[in-house]
Amino acid sequence: MKVIFSRKGFDSAAGGVPSPIVAGRPVSLPIPTRMPSPLRFADLAGDLPSLVADLTRGKAAAARSCHLDPDIDPTQCRRKRGWRGALGQDGAAQGHLRRQQVQPGDLFLFWGLFRPVDKVAGKWAYAGTSEHRIFGWLHVGEVVALGPDGSHALRRFPWLDQHPHVRRGWGPNNALYIASTKFSIRSRKLPGYGLFKTGRRLSRVGSRLPSEWVTPSWLNPRTGGTGMSYNPIDRWGKDSVRTAARGQEFVADVGARADAEAWLAGLFGEVR
């Protein structure tokens, strides 16, 4: 199995600010987009529209289109029967996933830049320091090549109608990773996609750089670990890595390592 640490959501480049941590739970904000998308921020459920408006100080307006990808939260908007999680990818990032031979049975762990928030005088405001945190997952059930016009996928998967990648206007690498319905870790059955309640902090506590991650030994090549793509050996310390700014997808080929499986079992321990 491969584990793909996949960067998603708001950050200094996409959206301009961190996604929020609300009452201990990371809430990944879908990025503003000019690419084909059927959804605006105003279409999203719950506190998402007000979080985006308040934290960006109105720069991401309710009428602006947003890129709901990875699409792994069933409550974010209206869903058709049969809906399940999916991730779209295109361009260089999809080329990297293809070269790394990401396929059914592999596991995406989605992470992003987050910062705690509180409500002050009725508006959301930041109330802490930024960190990188894992917020969700997708276990790959199927990989679908879409191409520049992904609408043909709707014949097989009509419940994908809200997904931005099943529209015209993408590049030739446009592809979709559809979640499995279930997968297992240590004989425990888990949903094929979803959001963690708290996830896991990756950034070293006290570091000024969110990109300085504390790493488990199974991942760190200096301690016999797998390493991960885009991060050569000179980025690793004895228990940490300074993650590359370039590259959305960091791929680690863990095979059947028991220590990696134990780490994943701990991560998924909060999923009921």
- Whole-model pTM over 0.75: yes
The beta strands (E) that lie in the chain are given as 2-7, 19-22, 25-26, 31-32, 66-67, 86-89, 107-120, 123-126, 131-145, 175-179, 182-185, 188-191, 193-201, 212-214, 240-242, 249-253
- Per residue in 116-134, pLDDT (tens digit) is 999 999 999 999 999 999 9
What is the predicted pLDDT for the residue at 257? Answer: 97
As to burial, measured by CB atoms within 10 angstroms (0-12 exposed, 13-18 middle, 19+ buried), residue 239 is middle
In Å, how far are 55, 123, 183, 184, 189 from 268, measured between CA atoms? Answer: 29, 33, 12, 11, 11
What is the predicted pLDDT for the residue at 33? Answer: 82
What mean pLDDT is reported for the chain?
Answer: 94
Q: Which residues of the chain, if any, have pLDDT below 70? A: 62
- Per residue in 203-250, pLDDT (tens digit) is 999 999 999 999 999 999 999 999 999 999 999 999 999 999 877 899
What is the predicted pLDDT for the residue at 34? Answer: 78
What is the predicted pLDDT for the residue at 7? Answer: 96
CA distance 74 to 79: 7
